[in-house]
Amino acid sequence: MPAGRRGPAAQSARRPPPLLPLLLLCVLGAPQAGSGAHTAVISPQDPTLLIGSSLLATCSVHGDPPGATAEGLYWTLNGRRLPPELSRVLNASTLALALANLNGSRQQSGDNLVCHARDGSILAGSCLYVGLPPEKPVNISCWSKNMKDLTCRWTPGAHGETFLHTNYSLKYKLRWYGQDNTCEEYHTVGPHSCHIPKDLALFTPYEIWVEATNRLGSARSDVLTLDILDVVTTDPPPDVHVSRVGGLEDQLSVRWVSPPALKDFLFQAKYQIRYRVEDSVDWKVVDDVSNQTSCRLAGLKPGTVYFVQVRCNPFGIYGSKKAGIWSEWSHPTAASTPRSERSGPGGGACEPRGGEPSSGPVRRELKQFLGWLKKHAYCSNLSFRLYDQWRAWMQKSHKTRNQHRTRGSCPRADGARREVLPDKL
Amino acid sequence: MRTEHWLHDGEIVEALEKDQNPASASLTLPLCCKASPRDRVSAHLCLLTLLLPPLSSAVPISPAESISQAYSLALYMQKNTSMLLQTYLQYQGSPFSDPGFSAPELQLSSLPPATAFFKTWRTLDDGERLSLAQGAFLALTQHLQLVRDDQSDLNPGSPILLAQLGTARLRAQGLLGNMAAIMTALGLPMPPEEDTLGLVTFGASAFERKCLGYVVTREYGHWTDRAVRDLALLKAKYPA
C-alpha cells in the first residue's frame, strides 16, 4: 500500500494549509507548533546494519494538543506497510517495531522506514543502511602511456554487491621511500579505474594498492609492485601506408613510422601487423616484426581489397627486461592487390626485400606443388589433369578457409581421406 | 531569430531565441552578463551588475522589455519543474519514488508558501508582488544549493540528478536577476538579500534531508507557476 497518500475520508478532515507556516516535519531549526498536527521522532536515525541482522525501532509522538497518542500509527518500509504483528505499543505515545533478518538496502540513499499517522501522513522517518562490508579489490593492472602517466584498473571483490555505497581509492608510493599518495582522477577507463597524470619516477619500483570503504568497513587489495618502465605502452604507429609491389598480384608492401612519442627509445620495439580481406572478419596476424618499419605481405589473393593495421610494443625500453604493453591498432589502411586469374596460397610472413622477378609466383607455385606431391608420393599418375585439379582445389580452399576437404586427392592405401593444409607446404 | 546566451556564475545558462528587434538589440543593461558564445564574464562582475543600479547604462530599459524577458524565462523554467521533482523522487526510493507520491503535510518554514488567496494576490501592488517573488526565489536558490549538497552525499552516483539541481538553481538565480531588472525599471527599491536558511542544524538525518529536498523541489515548481502568473499580470499592466 503506498504511503504518504491520504484516503478520501482523511482528505475532508484536513485543514487547508494557511498562509502562516504550518507545523513542520523537516525543518532546519526548532519545529514550530501549528494547530492540530503532531511531530514524531524515530529512533535510531540512520542506522547501519549487516545483512541479516535485526532492528528495534521506536516512533515517539509529541505535539499539540498534548496527549497525542500512539494509537493508529503504523510503519512502512520502502513504501510497503509492515504487518501489524511486528509493531507494539510501548506506551501512550510510543510505537515500537521489531524487524528481523534484514535484506540489503534497495537504494544507496538508504531504505525509508516511515512512521505514519492514522490518516496516512508522514510523521517521521529514518533511513536504514543494510549491507556488507567491502571485499578486497583484485586484479589490479596498470599501464603507462609513453612513460608520462599511469592508469590503473581493478575489479571489486568477489561478491561485488555490498548494497551500500562503496568508495574506492587507489593509492601508490615509492617502494622504499616516501609517503602514500592518492590517485585523484577516477573512472577514466571504466568504473573502477584511476589515472595518475604526473610526478612519477622511472627506474624505481612503486607499490600500488586499492582501498575500498563503506559504512560497514574497509578492505585493501594486495600490493602490486611495478616499475613504470615495465608497463609502458605507446601510441599506434602513425602514417601506415600500404601499397602494391609493382605488378605482383599476391603481395602488398606495408610501411609505417615509429611512434613519435618514444622514437628516441624504440630501438628494440616490436611490431605486429594484422590484415584481412575486405568482407571477412578473420584477421591474419604477422608476428615477429622486430624493429623494422616496413614489411611485405605475401601470398595474398589478387584483385582483392585488404585492410591492414599495425601496432607497437615498446619492448625493452631503457633496458627493461619485461615486454611492454601493446599499443592500440592503427587506423585500418586499405589497399588492393592487382588483378589476376591466379590465386596464391595464404602466407603469414614478411617477404625479404629486394623485388623478385615476376616469374617468382610461378616458381613458388611449382615448388609448393612439388611439396604437395611429396606428401602424396604414392600417386603414380602425374598429369596435367592432376595439376589442374590441384589448382582448382587451391582456389576453392582459399575461399572456404575452414573447410579442408581435398578434392580429387589421391586415395590412401587404407582408403581414408587426408586433409592438407596449404600453410604447411 | 537571434540566439543569446545568458551567463550566471560564469556558466552559460540558456540560449533563448529572440526575435530580431532593433529596440532589444540596444538593450545593454546586463540582466545577467550577456555574452557571445566565446567569452565568459566572471561571476563577480555578474553579481555586481545585478545589484548596482544601472547608472552607467546609456539607454533606459522599459519595464515592458524586462517583464517580457522575465516572463519568457519563467515559462521556460515551468517546462522542466515537474521533471526535476520526478527525478528527485526517483532517487530517494519508495515511498518517495512511488507513482503519484504526495505529502503536502511536509512543509518548510524557511520557504514562503506559493499559494495565496486569489483576491489578496490579485490586488498586490507591483512592489509587493515582485518583492514576494524575489524573496521566494532567493530562498529557493539557497535551498537548492543545500539539497544539491545533501544529494551528492546521499546519492553520490547520480550525475543526472545533481546536474538538474544545479541547473534549477542557476535558472532561479537568472529569474532573480530579471526581476531585479524589473524593479529597477519601475523605480522600485531592491529588497535586501537575506540568508533565508537561517541557522542550519548540521545534524539533520538522512530521512529529514530527503524530505527537505522533496519540499524544495515541489515548492520550486509551485513558485515557478506563480511567477508565470505574476509576470503575466505585469505584462498586461505594462504593455510594450
* Residue B222 with chain A: CB contacts under 8 Å: none
Which cell numbers in the block locate residue A36? 492540530
Q: How far apart are CA B197 and CA B101, in angstroms?
A: 26
A4, B204: Cβ pair inside 8 Å?
no
Distances (CA, A) of A125 to A212, A322, B98, B139: 29, 58, 16, 25
Cβ of residue A128 closer than 8 Å to a chain B Cβ: no
A126, B205: Cβ pair inside 8 Å?
yes
- A206 versus B48: the higher-pLDDT residue is A206
> Is the per-residue pLDDT at A350 higher than 50?
yes
Cβ of residue A37 closer than 8 Å to a chain B Cβ: yes
Q: What is the mean pLDDT of residues B203-224?
A: 94
* Residue A25 with chain B: CB contacts under 8 Å: 105-107, 208, 211
pLDDT of residue A34: 33
Other CB atoms closer than 10 Å to residue A5's CB: what's the count?
Answer: 16
Which cell numbers in the block locate residue A306? 585488404
pLDDT of residue A270: 87
Task: Report whether A5 contacts B101 (CB < 8 A).
Answer: yes
A110, B105: Cβ pair inside 8 Å?
no
Q: What is the mean pLDDT of residues A13-40?
A: 41
Closest approach of B58 to chain A, Cα-based (Å):
43
A112, B94: Cβ pair inside 8 Å?
yes
Helix/strand/coil (H/E/C) assignment for every residue in A377-414: CCCCCCCHHHHHHHHHHHHHHHHCCCCCCCCCCCCCCC
Beta strand residue intervals within B9-101, DSSP E: 11-18, 34-35
- A406 versus A85: the higher-pLDDT residue is A85
Which residue of B lies nearest to A26 if distances are taken between CA atoms?
A: B208
- Reported as a pLDDT band with limits 50, 70 and 90, residue B208 is very high
Q: What are the phi and psi torsion angles at A354 (to 5°)? A: 85, 105
DSSP reduced 3-state for A261 = helix
For A183-236, what is each residue's pLDDT tens digit? Answer: 999 999 999 999 999 999 988 999 999 999 999 999 999 999 999 988 998 889
For A365-403, what is each residue's pLDDT tens digit? Answer: 776 777 677 666 655 555 555 666 666 677 666 655 444
Percent of chain B topping pLDDT 90: 61
Task: Report whether A206 contacts A172 (CB < 8 A).
Answer: yes
B105, A2: Cβ pair inside 8 Å?
no
- A58 versus B18: the higher-pLDDT residue is A58
What's the mean per-residue pLDDT of chain A?
78
- A44 versus A161: the higher-pLDDT residue is A44
B206, A46: Cβ pair inside 8 Å?
yes
- Mutate which of B115, B118, B145, B207 to test chain A, going by most A C-beta atoms within 10 A? B207
pLDDT of residue A208: 96
Residues of B at the A interface (Cβ-Cβ below 8 Å)?
91-98, 100-110, 113, 115-117, 154-157, 197-201, 204-212, 215
Which residue of A lies nearest to B155 if distances are taken between CA atoms?
A: A109
- Mean pLDDT is lowest, of A105-109, A347-351, B65-69, B106-110, for A347-351
B199, A28: Cβ pair inside 8 Å?
yes
Q: Indicate the residue type of B201.
A: T
ipTM attached to this prediction: 0.70
Residue whose C-alpha is closest to residue A147's, from A215, A231, A224: A231
- B57 versus A241: the higher-pLDDT residue is A241
DSSP line for A142-208? EEEETTT-EEEEEE--TT---SS--EEEEEEEETTSS--EE--EE-TTSSSEEEE-S---SSSEEEE
* Residue B107 with chain A: CB contacts under 8 Å: 17, 21-25
For B150-190, what is each residue's pLDDT tens digit? Answer: 999 999 888 999 999 999 999 999 999 999 999 999 988 88
- Mean pLDDT is lowest, of A4-13, B206-215, B228-237, for A4-13
Edge to edge, the sheet with strand A48-50 lists A48-50, A122-131, A111-116, A74-77, A80-81
Q: What are the phi and psi torsion angles at A277 (to 5°)? A: -70, 155
Q: How far apart are CA A345 and CA A364, in angstroms?
A: 10
Q: What is the mean pLDDT of residues B188-198?
A: 77
* Residue A5 with chain B: CB contacts under 8 Å: 100-102
Q: What are the phi and psi torsion angles at A104 (to 5°)? A: -60, 145
pLDDT of residue B36: 41
- Reported as a pLDDT band with limits 50, 70 and 90, residue A412 is very low
A2, B199: Cβ pair inside 8 Å?
no
Distances (CA, A) of A268 to A146, A229, A240, A304: 15, 14, 19, 34
Q: How far apart are CA A196 and CA A199, in angstroms?
A: 8
Cβ of residue A250 closer than 8 Å to a chain B Cβ: no
Closest approach of B129 to chain A, Cα-based (Å):
15
- B92 versus B40: the higher-pLDDT residue is B92
Q: What is the mean pLDDT of residues A257-285?
A: 85
Residue whose C-alpha is closest to residue A284's, from A350, A352, A233, A360: A350
Which residue of A lies nearest to B153 if distances are taken between CA atoms?
A: A109
Which residue of B lies nearest to A1 if distances are taken between CA atoms?
A: B95
> Is the per-residue pLDDT at A162 higher than 80?
yes
Q: How far apart are CA A387 and CA A225, in angstroms?
A: 61
> Is the per-residue pLDDT at B221 higher than 70?
yes
Cβ of residue A27 closer than 8 Å to a chain B Cβ: yes
pLDDT of residue B226: 97
B108, A165: Cβ pair inside 8 Å?
no
Burial A172-203 (b: 16+ CB within 10 A, else e): beeeeeeeebebeeeeeeeebbbbbeeebeee
- Mean pLDDT is lowest, of A31-40, A272-281, A284-293, B186-195, for A31-40
Size of interface A-B (CB pairs under 8 A): 131
pLDDT of residue A352: 52
